[in-house]
Structure 1
Amino acid sequence: MAKRSGFCAVLAVCFLTAMLTGCSQDPNVRKQKYLESGQRYYDRGKYREAAIQYENAIQVDARFAEAHYKLALAEMKLQQWNDAFQQLTRTIELQPENYAAHLDMANMLIASRPPQLNEAKEHLDLLTQKQAENPEVFVALANYHAVNNAMGPALAAMQTALRLDPNRSDSYLNMALLQVRVEQWDAAEASYRKAVELSPNSTNALVSLGNFYQVRGRFPDAEQQYRRAIDSAPTDPEPRGSLARLYLAENKFNQAEELLKQAKKDFPDNSTGYRMLGDFYFANNRLDQATTEYASLYQDHPKDLTVKKYYVQLLILKDRIDEAAKLNEEVLKVAADDADALICKGQIEIHRGKASAAINTLQGVLKNEPANAVAHYQLGLAFDLAGNLSHAEAEWRESIRLRPDLSDAHRALAGAAIRRSDPNALALEADQIIQQQPESADGYLLRAVAEIDRKQFAAAEDYIKRSIQRASNNAAAYVQLGNLRMAQNNLSEAQKAFQQALDLDPNSTDALGGVLNVYLIQKQIDKALSVANAQLAKYPKNAGFHIIVGRLLFEQKKDAAGAETEFRRATELDKNNVEALVSLGRVQADQGKQDEALQTYLDGAKSNPRETVFYLLAGGIYESKQDWDKAKQVYQRVLEIQPDNPLASNNLAYVILQQGGNVDVALAMAQTARRQLPDNPSSADTLGWAFYHKGVYNSAITLFKEAVKKEPENATYNYHLGLAYVRSGQAAQARQQLDRVVKIKPDSSEANDLKQALAQLKG
């Protein structure tokens, strides 16, 4: 009997084990366990862990609609909007009557940048039909109308939501926001207060009422609500952030700082809480303090990806690129598809001058997130680095379309307008910056630049004054005031303004340049050089000052050797300074040091591989040496970087003709260059030379005459015109051109060639 009982016990254990094993293999049981585990994580606020469990459930059953929906909710909490959108789409495909998913989808489409209102309307039409008693549906409908600027229907929809559930606090908050939009201040306050009455411990309601009071300038009332929110939710850091922002609005910087220092201590395990101090420094442009704070946070929380990503951004801003790259790689090892980290990678590549790599990286981000405005903005910077300004501007405009409040993109477009000498476009971008950041000085300053260019001097002065009111110690404002006075031909006041700018920023090359320009206009060359040398003596490591002194020596004193010394020193201080390298090469070439100049340009191209000016200047020297193969190589390199560069097209066409290459190819390139450079004598000469080789002499003569008219002392242009006269049988005119070439360059090969051509014509 005992043996039988033992056998039964063993049998029972085996049976139980088999049951458990069988259950663990049952897909329905497994997916449900993953779902329940995910829900436990979700309820505890661990959304990333919850998302992993929901994904596990979906791996077991790809058609598990509930898991797709739960994953969408987790992704929304993580602000992974693209992933959330995909999961909501899949949920609705699998479960068309999941009205909660339709509602979440509608809200996401309304809140997207730009809003996708047509798609949102489809979901709302379904919801108002199928969920006519759900107040949240009418809240969404109200927001839809508000985004469409249809405030009457928006307020009516909110009234319906309140009628359906008059005790829902969040509905009153939404109503209050709409009432603020239409400036119904008393009604808005009543709605906010009703929301607090219904949910007296809701941090959202209390903070919203506090925000309203702050906007209305009722700072004590705002502080009272923020403190109530802090007391109601001592474990939530957000109300403290609101109180800190209030202190800033009251110019109580120290109180805000102390509050956030305490918050860091109070929330040692809450990322939002311990990051607030660093974010506060960053928001107030205290980059050194922000960087130090995030360095500390990185040491204390080495696994916090948000800390790492913010720290990377700060390192980039501080130009600590190698450190930023190393840390960003840590992020990408953990999250290879993280859009923020990939954008940082693109920024790092831009800082390293790797335009092509940055373009590839950022285009990869946009392939997955085509509506990422920041990626479009950074891609614009990459295209600009590559020398493709038109593509850059297109990306900046797209970033603004997606996020109209992206002021950096407006600033980039303003910079492009300045480079294109387009004051009207500059004024438009400046107005956008002023509208979005009315307390920022630079918008007014950019507007002033546009008005100076348009000779609207009174308007320019007004904008400069408004800029100075917002940043009285901004040297750039006084530089523009100096430029305005120069345009008004008021040299004494211009000098005062430039000097004030230099006093505010003794390292400013613009300010020093303005001071010197006044002296040069007054023909006080020695005074200008004395002032420049004095400023350089104070700041000997300022490469820009060495360039300024070098230019004065070269252009005003004809001291090429002294200028070369200054330009060389500038390149030693800043090895990648394009202006210094170009100036050094030119002064070397002017002294007949062609080989040294060539090496300077090649070194410049090596340091700045996307900077076309070095290849163009090197090509000119190769042409003077008649090294056509190398000239061809450097011009082709320019066209690889900038396919529409007219100078490279022009010069390459000329080289092809000199090498006896394909005349039709050269002609096409010369015509392209001529269209872009219609007033350039070199483009006229090259196109004329192509027509000459095609035997179209009359067209060639017309172009050569235009080139000679603009540069009458250019021996090559006169030589080409003489040859064309010879080929067209115009001996007298050819003889005149021969005399002209001999006078300009008596022993030149061009003169001898033209003599031989004339002799053949006479024979």
Structure 2
Amino acid sequence: LPDAAEPNYKKAIDLKATAANPRLALAAFYQARGRYSDAEQQVQQVIAENPKDAEPRIALSKLYIAQGKQADAEQYMKQVKRELPDDPSAYVLLGDYYFLIGDLDRAVAEYSSIYNDHPKDLKVKKNYIQLLILKGRVDEANKLNEQILGSQAQDDDALVYRGELQMHQGKLNEAVQTLQSVVSRNPGMAVAHYQLGNALSQLADLDHAGTEWQQAIQLRPDMIDAYRALADLELQKNDMPGLERMAGDIIRLQPAAPDGYAMRAFSLMGRKQIPAAELDARKAIQIAPQSGVGYLEMGHLNAMQQRFSEAENWYKQALNHDPNSGDALRGLLNIYVAQKQLDKAITAANAQIALSPNNSTFYDLLGTLLVNKKDYKGAETALKKAVELDKHNSDAITALGRVQSTEGAADAALATFNDGLKNNPKQADFYILMGGVYESKHDLEQAKSAYQNALQIKRDDPVASNNLAYLLLQTSGNPDLALDLAQTARRGLPQLSNVADTLGWAFYQKGIYGSAIASFQDAIKLSAKNKEPDSALYHYHLGLAYAKSEQPALAKQHLERVLKIDPKYPDADDVRKELSQLKS
């Protein structure tokens, strides 16, 4: 039985064991069993015997915290700092406590005081830098960090901080270079791998980011932030089983935090496991009623079941607990839109912006609503504000460029995407959108260049592959390259009719008419399946392929269909000419 250990601890005290203080071991034994008074008696005895030793004082602080006596713990830690002013473990105790409970403002203030008292303590200086970074006080952190690197250029901790600071400054490529130099020299440094993953993620290099985060948790299996990053990655990939695994790891590491339960609830919802999802969402609320995450998942759960009134209530509770929650506002707006209450959604978005005026996501959501209302000027204003607040908000940049293009402001759209690329150089989607704008301007060479740039970032991107293939076919480009690109696009987007048509056109240009016919037939079938209007282009292409394969009756049938669908089809004269040749 566990209690049989108590006599052994007491015997060790009688024998005056010196390897580890047996009274502290006995105190820990009492604390684990809720015998706090007995535990405190033992710790106080050690303090009386060793008044200059910080270890028992730290143990007493933890004992107060275990009993929920936060105020007593805080006052005692201040006393420890006064009484042991030259012991590093004593004078950082209070600052570390503030950090652990998430009170960054007091942690920064305390560490500022500690640093002023002990400017030569390198560990204190590094901890202070980290806190300044967390508070966004980039210039102050950078000044202190460069002081360290000025005298110790290869200090890996300081180099990791430099990488973090470069990310805050938008210098993502420099951050990657800085952090890669650290992991090359010190491959066992988990935090360097983690921060390198963050930098790569911001450059949209998600595969390599995931590899770095995995490396971080292999080196430090308790690195909770790396698990959170991997969970977000699984969410972006819509991998619900993967998200559930990561959520389970987070719960294992932090069973008293709500996030893991909320993530697991979301993953279960994604697979329609409603009762289990609700249990986790309610567990998140039970554990942390002050946090918004559990209420958010309950909102998702009810919205999914089209219980809109209940969902509205849960989303509003989530926003009450976290006024900056983009997910909660998005959920609330979505249920209004689902009920065709667009004006109510716009009012709700504006109300939340009034509460949190510096939230880029909120302006992004408002802009999307105004696009739905066809208020393009209002949408442009909102989306510009979203981008101004967060130059890495790729969704807002995309939406802004599309609105400008819709309004006929092609040059403004191109400027938006070019500006976006300065801060997000690995966003292949911006190049793809630029390609579309150039096509609308009939600048096909620039369009091709844009799609090629996209493919340099994402080699097998199906949209860029399809669009570049079609342009090559339209401009007498390399037919072999066009066919390779079209096949890549078809593998990536097998359900899109226009992609099947591009592949068919590539086969046609290569003289492979049987494969061309099969692809054009697929395009027409997919068009019907996707409830798209019957396409004159697809029938035109299929008619030409039948003509080349000496099937005149079928060729005639589809060419006539072209003119029936659209008598003013741009290539109507060519269609009539082809029909005339078939009749002769």
TM more than 0.5: yes
Q: 1:605-684 counterparts in 2 under 5 A?
A: 605-684=421-500
- The 1:397–1:692 alpha-carbon spacing in structure 2 relative to 1, beyond 3 Å, is same
**More displaced 10-residue stretch of structure 1: 752-761 or 606-615:** 752-761
> How do 1:97-496 residues align onto structure 2 when only pairs under 5 Å count?
185-199=2-16, 204-496=21-313
Cα distance change, pair 665–323 in 1 and its aligned pair in 2 (3 A): farther
Aligned residue in 1 for 2:333? 516
Which residue of structure 2 aligns with residue 724 of structure 1? Answer: 545
Distance 2:128 2:489 in 1: 47
CA separation in 1, counterparts of 2:141 and 2:569?
A: 57
**CA deviation after TM superposition for structure 1 residue 481, in Å:** 0.3
Q: Over residues 417-437 of structure 1, what are the superposed CA-to-partner deviations in whole Å (9 max), with x where a residue is unaligned?
A: 212222222222211211221
Question: Closer, same or farther in 2 for the Cα pair 1:229/1:681, shift >3 Å?
Answer: farther
Counterpart code for 2:545? A
| Shift in Å, 1:275 | 1.6
CA contact (8 A) 1:719 1:751 kept: no
| 8 A Cα contact 1:464 1:477, kept in partner | yes
Instruction: Report if aligned partners of 1:203, 1:229 keep a CA contact under 8 Å in 2.
Output: no
Q: Quick check: 1:203–1:239 contact (8 Å CA) kept in 2?
A: no
| Distance in 2 between residues matched to 1:393 and 1:516, nearest whole Å | 32
Please state how far the C-alpha of 1:347 moved relative to its aligned partner. 2.6
Provide the C-alpha distance between the structure 1 equivalents of 2:50 and 2:574, rounded to a whole number of angstroms: 93
Distance in 1 (alpha carbons) for counterparts of 2:577 and 2:165: 60
State whether residues 556 and 582 of structure 2, in contact with CA within 8 Å, keep that contact through their aligned partners in structure 1: no
Is 1:571–2:392 an aligned residue pair? Answer: no
Return closer, same or farther for 1:410/1:573 CA change in 2, 3 Å cut-off: closer
Larger radius of gyration between Structure 1 and Structure 2: 1
**CA distance, structure 2, for counterparts of residue 403 and residue 565 of structure 1:** 45
What is the deviation of 1:580?
1.8
Q: Per the alignment, do residues 311 and 635 of structure 1 end up closer, same or farther by CA in structure 2, a change over 3 Å counting? A: farther
Deviation at 1:202, TM superposition (A): 6.8
Distance 1:571 1:404, change over 3 A: closer
**Alpha-carbon deviation of 1:445?**
0.7
Contact 2:170 2:423 in 1 (8 A): no
CA contact (8 A) 1:738 1:751 kept: no
Which one of 507, 515, 518 corresponds to residue 699 of structure 1?
A: 515
Q: CA RMSD in A?
A: 2.9
Q: Could you tell me whether the CA contact under 8 Å between 2:203 and 2:425 is conserved in 1? A: no
Alpha-carbon contact 1:387-1:641 (below 8 Å) kept: no
d(CA) in 2 for partners of 1:752, 1:437:
71
TM-fit CA distance, 1:353: 4.4
Residues 231 and 550 (structure 1), Cα distance of their counterparts in 2 relative to 1, 3 Å cut? same
Structure 1 residue 726 displacement after superposition: 4.5
Match of 2:419 in 1: 603
Separation of aligned partners in 2, 1:594 and 1:722: 35
Contact 2:202–2:424 (CA under 8 A) maintained in structure 1:
no
Residues 201 and 229, structure 1, Cα contact 8 Å, conserved in 2? no
Change (3 A) 1:487 1:193: same
Change in 2 beyond 3 A, CA 1:601/1:500:
same
Q: Deviations over 1:670-691 (max 9, x none)?
A: 3233323322334323322322
Deviation at 1:376, TM superposition (A): 2.7
What is the CA distance between 1:414 and its match in structure 2? 1.6
Contact in 1 for aligned 2:283/2:294 (Cα 8 Å): no
Give the fraction of aligned pairs with identical amino acids, expressed as a percent. Answer: 50
Q: Distance in 1 between matches of 2:482 and 2:100?
A: 55
The letter of the residue matching 2:91 is Y
Deviation at 1:729, TM superposition (A): 4.3
Which moved further from structure 2: 572-581 or 467-476?
Answer: 572-581
Displacement, 1:645? Answer: 3.0
User: Which runs of structure 2 are paired with 1:51-66 in the superposition (5 Å)?
Assistant: none
Picking from 683, 687, 705, the partner of 2:503 is 687
Is the 8 Å Cα contact of residues 386 and 642 (structure 1) preserved in structure 2?
no
The alpha-carbon deviation at position 191 of structure 1 amounts to 4.1
CA 1:540 to 1:329, structure 2 compared with 1: closer, same or farther past 3 Å?
A: closer
Distance in 2, matches of 1:269 and 1:715, equals 84
**Structure 2 vs 1, CA of residues 675 and 204 (structure 1 numbering), >3 Å: closer, same or farther?**
farther
Q: CA deviation at 1:471?
A: 0.9
1: CA distance, partners of 2:483 / 2:67: 69
Pick 1 or 2: higher relative contact order, CA cutoff 8 A, min separation 6. 2
Equivalent position amino acid for 2:273 in 1: Q
Describe the shift of the 1:250–1:756 C-alpha distance in structure 2 as closer, same or farther (beyond 3 A): farther
8 Å CA contact retained: 1:342, 1:365: yes
Q: What is the number of residues matched between the two proteins?
A: 579
1:3-152 to 2 correspondences below 5 Å: none
Deviation, 1:467, is: 0.6
> Following the alignment from structure 1 to structure 2, what is the Cα–Cα distance between the partners of residues 609 and 743?
46
Give ranges in structure 2 of 5+ residues lacking alignment: none
Deviation at 1:307, TM superposition (A): 1.5
Query: Shift in Å at residue 713 of structure 1?
Result: 5.3
Task: Name the structure 2 match of 1:179.
Answer: none
Provide the rounded CA distance (Å) in 2 between the counterparts of 1:558 and 1:389: 34
Q: How far, CA to CA, are the matches of 1:569 and 1:369 in structure 2?
A: 42
Unaligned runs of 5+ in 1: 1-183
The 1-side partners of 2:394 and 2:564 are apart by 37
CA positional deviation for 1:304: 2.0
Q: Give, in whole Å, the separation in 2 of the partners of 1:611 and 1:550.
A: 21
Matched residue type, 1:411: R
Amino acid at match of 1:728: S
- Give 1:244 shift: 1.6
Task: Rate the CA distance shift 1:675–1:323 in 2: closer, same or farther, 3 A.
Answer: farther
Q: Distance in 2 between matches of 1:596 and 1:732?
A: 49
